[in-house]
Amino acid sequence: MNWKLAGMAVAAALALPAQAQQSGEAVYKSICFACHATGAANAPKLGDAKAWTPLIKEGQAVLTAHAWVGVRGMPPKGGNPNMSLEDFSKAVAYMANSAGGKWKDPDPKMLAAIQAEEKKRIADLAKKK
């Protein structure tokens, strides 16, 4: 093993921004599993098609935006204020797909649609106050 190269690789990894992009599965395993593996606060469990089917029918942009803002027992951003919308969206897609969804990781067009839905959701919640 080339220890100099290994050391350089570790140094490069440590120099990455704290909010480096992650896979949906990685985000799920590091944050979402706390509730979505156990069903805490009535969170739909990973792979539970019965619970996820009506949510999947809402559509990727709507479901992701509502979850991002916070819905039912779920806090905004899944309780992680430092999470990026892109990473969050990948985790939602990963969970939806585990239950039969056919969602892709968000591209710029999908992220824009999610942000538009987020604005609508915030406006709707403000009206209800």
pTM of the model: 0.82
Residue 33 lies in a domain: yes
Residue type, 33: F
CB of 103 closer than 8 Å to CB of 93: yes
The predicted pLDDT at position 72 comes to 87
Q: Model confidence over 16-68: pLDDT tens digits?
A: 344 557 999 999 999 999 999 999 989 999 999 999 999 999 999 999 999 99
CATH number at residue 77: 1.10.760.10
Cα distance between residue 13 and residue 22, in whole Å: 13
Domain hosting 55: range is: 23-127
The total of structural domains in the chain comes to: 1
Q: Minimal CA–CA distance to 91: which of 25, 33, 38?
A: 25
Q: Minimal CA–CA distance to 27: which of 114, 101, 92?
A: 92
Average pLDDT over residues 97-102: 97
Residue 9 lies in a domain: no
Cα distance between residue 21 and residue 92, in whole Å: 15
Residue 62 lies in a domain: yes
